[in-house]
Structure 1
Amino acid sequence: MTLTACAELVEKGDPDRFLAAMSAPPEARERLFPLYAFNLEIAKAPWITKEPMIAQMRLQWWQDIVGEAAEGAEPRAHEVAGPLASVIQSAQLPVSVFSTMITARYWDLNGDLFTSEEDVIGHIDRSAGSLMVLAALALGASEDQEADIREAAIASGIANWFMAVPAVEAAGRKPFAHGTLAEVKNIADYGLRMLDKQQSTDFGAATPALRAGWRARALLKKAIADPQAVPEGRLDTSEFRRKGSLMLKAAAGRW
């Protein structure tokens, strides 16, 4: 149950958030890596078994981990559970936001279809948006800032969703309500508008949590210019541009 184990999980499973966390001060990483590792654990739960009941039990197990940590109980023996409990307790993170994240993962189990663009955006907010809220709270943001954080987070959540579209479709799920290129452009435009709305907001010590979405603007602009790149898996940028843009943001203390 070490921070190193969490960091290694994130480096392998979520390289963008790993790089963003590594741009943060060491004390911030201690809080970010367990949260990002937790996100990976619940994200993979519906996909590691063909038995829905087992996946539900796994998600409930993580719900219990969070609840026990909030109550101050001794963490269970798991490489992520211990560091996660420490962050929950030291930052007094709200169980309700964790519950929202976990519940969002039932979409991968239930085969539900989105009925509107708003449904897609809402699902992204409940998962990626909630994760960024928890990360920001862990670094010192106030609960009064949750709405602003969610608006800032939705752009990166949408960008990550777009990047995952080929894999989601390959798994037999429908990542959009209508599956049209117009829908891709509309959702990307919404993300950019929310990003613009919060771009000048100073999140102070919580800035490294917001920096996890450093690529959002470039990816969403590309999706608007070439929406076919989303289903075809061509949305990603070069490694040089990916890392270079993060270095500039980190050097300037921006997100």
Structure 2
Amino acid sequence: MSVQACAEIVRNGDPDRFLATMAAPPAARTILFPLYAFNVEVTRAPWVTKEPMLAQMRLQWWRDLLGGPRSAKDPARHEVAAALGFLDAGSAALLDGLIDARHWDIGTDPHADDAALDAYLDATAGNLAWTAARSLGAVEEDAVRRLARAAGLARYLAALPALKAAGKRPLTDDSPETVRGLARRYLGDMPRARSLSRPARIATLETWQARPLLTAILRDPARVERGAVGLSEGGKRLRLLAASV
């Protein structure tokens, strides 16, 4: 699969990461678009069926696919998996952990506690961002993961109303006080992107909304329940421009 085809998957399935990747240098897009296309496909897997067993089989299928040869010359490979031929064993293991964490999306139980939510966000958003960063040559794993977890929380809180409508229990306690506490804790743990190397900054462009979104939630946690977490299109683009510069 070409990078352009992966870009179309990201454009349709994850438009914010599409915008962030288009702000990255062209050479980096050959890494980022296949990774984000993979993430779209895996994230979608638990939601395309209401049968838990079928959802588990789809995730296992991706694990099996990821574990095999990632050669674009092999016609038996899935197209997105074939585009991930640049992955080394360490990155493949990170994405395997991401798939494993997505099994939580199949059920309806909330995360047991803050530590369980932290682990979920680290295995999903954190593993994805660190795979991108290490593939681009970055070495600052802790800082990249902290930025990615914050962005993951912002996305997670924005999705709360939709998750609850689908019968999920995203948080054991989704009171405004608990939501504010989460936003405060993750904000306090975010490093400044300008302190990172250039490869790490490129890999974490996709986190550009995390700070303003979590700041808004901290000020008014009830916006989560109202489904009012988000920036205007103009605000998104201005902040992304500032982050990319």
- Normalised by the shorter chain, which TM-score bucket? over 0.9
> Take 1:118 and 1:248, find their aligned partners in 2: how far apart are those partners?
33
Q: Is the 8 A contact 1:165 1:175 kept in 2?
A: yes
16-25 vs 75-84, which deviates more?
75-84
Aligned match of 2:227: 233
Aligned match of 1:11: 11
Q: Is the 8 A contact 1:121 1:187 kept in 2?
A: no
Residue correspondences, number:
245
Aligned match of 1:208: 202
Question: Is 1:172 paired with 2:167?
Answer: yes
Q: Is the 8 A contact 1:69 1:75 kept in 2?
A: no
> Take 1:141 and 1:75, find their aligned partners in 2: how far apart are those partners?
32
User: In the superposition, relative to structure 1, how do residues 74 and 114 fare at CA in structure 2: closer, same or farther (>3 Å)?
Assistant: same
Matches within 5 A, 1:117-196: 117-142=114-139, 145-195=140-190
User: In the superposition, relative to structure 1, how do residues 103 and 15 fare at CA in structure 2: closer, same or farther (>3 Å)?
Assistant: same
Unaligned runs of 5+ in 1: none
Structure 1 position 177, deviation (Å): 2.0
29-38 vs 47-56, which deviates more?
47-56
> Take 1:76 and 1:26, find their aligned partners in 2: how far apart are those partners?
29
Unaligned runs of 5+ in 2: none
Aligned match of 2:82: 82
> Take 2:203 and 2:8, find their aligned partners in 1: how far apart are those partners?
18
> Take 1:237 and 1:104, find their aligned partners in 2: how far apart are those partners?
28
Give the RMSD, CA atoms, in angstroms.
2.0
> Take 2:70 and 2:186, find their aligned partners in 1: how far apart are those partners?
32
Structure 1 position 12, deviation (Å): 1.1
User: In the superposition, relative to structure 1, how do residues 119 and 109 fare at CA in structure 2: closer, same or farther (>3 Å)?
Assistant: same
Aligned match of 1:59: 59
Structure 1 position 199, deviation (Å): 4.2
Letter of the structure 1 residue corresponding to residue 9 of structure 2: L
Structure 1 position 198, deviation (Å): 4.7
> Take 2:188 and 2:76, find their aligned partners in 1: how far apart are those partners?
42
Structure 1 position 218, deviation (Å): 0.4
Aligned match of 2:97: 100
Letter of the structure 2 residue corresponding to residue 141 of structure 1: A
Structure 1 position 72, deviation (Å): 10
> Take 1:122 and 1:190, find their aligned partners in 2: how far apart are those partners?
15
Q: Is the 8 A contact 2:180 2:218 kept in 1?
A: yes
> Take 1:193 and 1:74, find their aligned partners in 2: how far apart are those partners?
46
Structure 1 position 193, deviation (Å): 1.1
Which residue among 108, 111, 119 is the counterpart of 2:108? 111
Aligned match of 2:215: 221
Q: Is the 8 A contact 1:65 1:75 kept in 2?
A: no
TM-score by length of structure 1 reads: 0.89
Identity %: 40
> Take 1:81 and 1:199, find their aligned partners in 2: how far apart are those partners?
30
